[in-house]
Chain A
Amino acid sequence: MRRVFELFVLFVFLNIPIFAYAGAWEQAQELCRQSGGNCNYNIPTPTPSIDRNYSNQPQPSAPKTYTKPRSPSLSPSESMTIGIFGSLLSGLFSGLMNPPDTPNDDYLQAQKQKEYEEQQKLLMQKKQQALKTWHAIKDQPQSETQTAQQNQNPSLGFKTLGSSLVPFKWQNKINPKELDSSITLAQNQSQFDLNHEVQNFFGNRLNDLAQEGGKDFLEKYHKSNILLAETLKERKKIKGLGKFVGDNVYENTIGIASIIVDYKTDGVAKALQSVADFSILKIGIPQANFTLEAGRVYSRSVFNLLDKTLTKISNAVGMDFDFQEFINNNFNAYQKGVYEWLVKE
């Protein structure tokens, strides 16, 4: 009878944690739901099946710490119940069941933790390597495209357009390989180099023009280049299709000569327009070692210089000058296009 009573007491005693746990479980579920989490513990969120026709299987993100694999035959609540029991009674069980020299699970657990950490370390290395590769690929130029261009017949150049248009020479594209280094170079070398290029580009003539006063400058150049300029004027008349205008027509000297002819025949306003024509045209002609970005900065400099120069010339001959108005009234499509492009970008 006493044994039966002992058994009853023990039974009640042993069940206390189970009742307590059952209440805790419900509370935990309620808390979880209130927090908006996924509280459906018995249904783990499955990896969505991906139709192999559409996509590739994504790699699931790794857990932050190692967790021992669960027994598939038990539900999480069953596992938890047994876990609580186990922890409460582990000392007792080990005292009862294990001989003193039997190694416990800690060693294996430690081994697995170590293995897991090594795997995580390896994974981190792989990730870092992948990220490095990705950045390298992203920054890499499209080499195949370059090869394709190099295969082109160099003797066959792009055409130019109609005579009333500014002929444009299709240029080789910027080599993206040089892009990064050149941008950096352009940025590092500061505005000085760029201005220097601009000055060289105009052969200092626009600067002279500004400094000397437009009229004197034009007169001076008129005297020295009149023959060439008049020849040019004649050539322009017989052009017909603009594509027949040779690219060399726009060498600096001839360009300036053209301005002079316009000045002599049509006056200052026309000469200003010729200056603009000539200057903006040159933007399209590539400069050695110029990248796209550097080219843009350079082009903006040309526009700025042009604005200042034209204003000075105008003032020198007693005219008011508004650059924006000048653009609206005098720029052709090409010039407006370049200008808008720069403003847009």
Chain B
Amino acid sequence: MARKGVVMKVKSFLFASIWLAVFFMYSCSTTIPYNIKPINLESSKQATQTKFPYHATFVVVDKTLDYTKYDYDIISVNVKYILPTRFMVLQGVKYYLSPYFKKSDYERNSLELYGKNHIIVEILPNSLYVKENLGFSKKSLDIEVGINSRIYDDNYIVSKPYSVSLKGTYEVTGVFSSFGKDADYSKAAAMSIEKDLEQLGQQIAYILNNQNEIISNVNAAIEKEPLDLENYIILANVSLKNGNYKDAIAASKMIIKLAPNNIIGYDLQARSYYKNAQLSLAKKIFAAAIAQNVQDAKRYYITFLVEAKDYDTAKMIIKQSQIPLNPKVITETLFGVNEYQSAVNILKEALEKQQYNGIGIAFSDVLSNSGYPIIESVNPLSSAVGLVYKDDEVVEINNQSTKNIEIEKVAELVKKEPNALNDIVIKRKNSSDLIKLSIKTQKLYTLDSFSTYAWLAFGNYFLNNKKDFYEYADLSYKLYPNGNISTIAKALVLIDSGSYDKAVDLLDNVDFLAEANILKAVSYAHKKDYNKALSMYKLAQQNYGSVLFDKFKPMFFESVSFFVTENLSTASQLKNQGAYNKALEYYQAVLDIVDDQKKSQIYSNVASIIAANPSVVELNENSKKSFIYAQMYYQENKLDKAIAQLNSVIEKNPFNPNLHHDIALLYAQTQDYKKATEHMNVYLTLLPNANDAQAVKDEMIKWEFKLKGE
């Protein structure tokens, strides 16, 4: 009994002791936060070679990282390092990644023009590691920032995400040296980002240059993870870009299988059909998605229709569905159906949402060494222009000190009422003098409204409201001269006022856009440099252009009208002289730069030449070869390539009626009845007494019927 009692006592004693020890240990454990302050990075000393002649948008995700260094002594004092990454990573991106591209920005603007090769790079800082090495004669601080990154085109992801580890070591040598000041941690963090961020640029370059490798990697990944949607999305998207529509269609079908309620699969499949010259099928895919109530189906369909330039259908669905849409989609649609006034009204509404009351000063995310906010930029449309400058320190706002203030709270010190005067005290860089200023609060628009201004300028240009056109274009360019669309708007003003050389110089900055190329062609034509004008116009046609490109076409036709008249007159004379081949050369030189009515006249004139001497439209050796390739592609079921090949033959031999006949049938097979009808009309104009004229006409009635049915 006694023995049992002793055992019980020992058990109770042990139990109490253990809990006491555990409690004691954990009650003594404490974690101290340590904020690493972001600092300015040094710009890259080595010039990075621009590798891509187009636009990139870098989206740096705002993320605060932390790392806790645990202390396992009895009385543990843990340190939690905290690093807000965006400021330094964004600077690093500007210095080390942006130079890879002709143009770059750091926020996607919904009304901006980006061109067909635009990419978006998403950068997500995701881990932090800090280590202090306390040696006898050498002390160092290691900081590692982990970054995850993804690349998208304007629609979907184009590669698997990849990670980069940015490592930096800040060292102090000497027996009596010491570190541990705030600046040391900031320097180590800055060094890590400066040192290794260029790796990311090399990765991006590699991915963009090795699309086939991406395809094979993704195919391998699918075999391992066949349920991972992202693999199929990449496969469909990259195959679509590379013109491999069979794989693109297969992958998009699989996406629909795995996620039948996700619009992405339908969208990719429809785009694949469209690129394979099967617009009608693409529409059917969207119709199926809408019928199945797939979320966002109508929104994606409207966006698709705008890209396919079927503005009438897009407008009809916009009206029917009344769903919220990207303002660019609505604007392009309204421009497409020539409803400029409606577009201007919508754009003005959008502009109102970008309005705010303020003094137009933006501050850097970090305070100066003396603890004051630093001016990062001044709104070019504000009255602060000329009074304050970048890098000025703001010491006081309305008699309140700004020392060590949180940046978010600076704006709260500014009076909000319009026309109220604000007393601002500033200190210039490298000067200790204080300058007192009085800046008025005014109605301003955010920096990203430059694109809204530009569209307003274009709307007013087409409405022939010259004053508003000039004003909006000017505001757009002043607000953001680096914008693509603001540059186009400004160039249009220069062309309109006859400054063609200046317009060309300006447009060189955005020569990856079809809109820029056609305006350059207009400028060259006005300068009577028709060769350059024609080659620039051809280049413009190769790039995908927005609705603006189509709307600029009449301007181009007008600018070359003198050249066209001269050529047509010469062609007519040559024809009358019986110099048919020469006459055709003159007709051909202007065929692509006249409007539809003139084009039809040219075909009629050529028809009489063909009737007189059919051999003038025979193909040369190279064209024959291209034609054979078209046949081969057709046999291989590659309709898009067959059409492209045949189009290349037509480009060189625009007056051979049979080529138009054949391509019309190809278009009809892809259910693109609009193009089929266009080409068949050319065939009938060139060969009005064709043996199969009646059969062709009958067939065209069917196409017309199908077109209406759509």
Interface assignment of B67: CB less than 8 Å from any CB of chain A = yes
Q: Identify which of B223, B254, B618 contacts A164 (C-beta below 8 A).
A: B618
CB distance from B402 to the nearest CB of A (A): 34
Residues of B693-710 at the interface with A, using a CB-CB cut-off of 8 Å, are 695-696, 698-699, 702
- For the A-B complex with A10-B21, A127-B227 known, give 14 more contacts whose Cβ atoms are closer than 8 Å: A7-B17, A14-B21, A25-B70, A40-B128, A48-B126, A49-B124, A51-B152, A55-B156, A56-B259, A59-B228, A61-B225, A173-B636, A241-B615, A340-B625
A-B contact pairs, 30 of them (CB 8 A): A6-B13, A14-B21, A38-B146, A40-B127, A40-B128, A43-B66, A43-B126, A48-B126, A50-B150, A54-B122, A55-B157, A56-B262, A59-B229, A96-B15, A126-B227, A131-B226, A144-B284, A145-B639, A148-B281, A148-B669, A152-B665, A152-B668, A159-B657, A160-B658, A162-B615, A162-B656, A164-B618, A173-B635, A176-B637, A341-B628
Given the known A-B contacts A142-B246, A156-B665, are A170 and B631 also in contact in the complex, defined by CB atoms under 8 Å? yes
Q: Are A58 and B621 in touch, CB under 8 angstroms? A: no
Chain A: minimal CB distance from B196 (Å): 14
Tell whether B230 is near chain A: CB-to-CB under 8 Å.
Answer: yes
Chain B residue with minimal CB distance to A141?
B637
Alpha-carbon gap, A51 to B157, bound state (A): 10
Secondary structure class of chain B's binding surface, majority of residues:
helix
User: Which of A204-212, A312-320, A330-338 touches B?
Assistant: A330-338
CA distance A39 to B636 in the complex (A): 54
B191 at the interface (CB under 8 A from A): no
Q: Are B671 and A96 in contact (CB under 8 A)?
A: no
Q: For B17, B621, B634, B639, which residue has the most chain A Cβ atoms within 10 angstroms?
A: B17
- Cα A56 to Cα B631 with chains together (Å): 39
Q: Which segment, of A109-117, A132-140, A184-192, faces chain B?
A: A132-140
Is A92 close to B, CB under 8 A? yes
Q: Are A144 and B281 in contact (CB under 8 A)?
A: yes
Question: Lowest 10 A-B CB distances belong to which pairs?
Answer: A22-B72, A333-B624, A337-B628, A58-B230, A159-B658, A130-B226, A162-B618, A131-B226, A241-B614, A333-B621
**Which residues from A are CB-within-8-Å of B230?**
55-56, 58
A6 / chain B contacts, CB cutoff of 8 Å = 13
Given A54-B152, A156-B699, answer yes or no on A173-B624 (Cβ-Cβ < 8 Å): no
Residues of chain B lying within 8 A (CB to CB) of residue A50? 150, 157
**B619 touching A165 by the CB < 8 A rule?**
yes
Within 8 A of B (CB), among A158-197: 158-165, 168, 170-171, 173-174, 176
A338 to B630, CA, bound (A): 11
Known: A153-B699, A158-B662. A332 touches B624 (CB 8 A): yes
Judging by beta carbons under 8 Å apart, are A148 and B161 in contact?
no
| 8 Å CB interface, A80-106 against B | 81, 85, 89, 92, 95-96
A264 interfacial by beta-carbon distance below 8 Å? no
B670-704 contacts to A (CB < 8 Å): 670-671, 691-692, 695-696, 698-699, 702
User: Which of B129, B229, B631, B699 is within 8 Å of A168, CB to CB?
Assistant: B631
A173, B637: Cβ atoms under 8 Å? yes
Closest to A147 in B: B281
- Say whether A149 faces chain B, with CB atoms less than 8 Å apart: yes
> Is the pair A145, B124 in contact by a Cβ cutoff of 8 Å?
no
Bound-state Cα–Cα, A133 to B260, Å:
14
With contacts A43-B66, A45-B127, A61-B225 taken as known, whether A133 is within 8 angstroms of B18 at the C-beta atoms is no
A10 CA to B24 CA in the complex, in Å?
14
Let me know if B222 is at the binding interface, CB within 8 A. yes
A42 within 8 A of B: yes
A171 neighbours in B (Cβ, 8 Å):
634-635
Whether the Cβ atoms of B258 and A152 lie closer than 8 Å is no
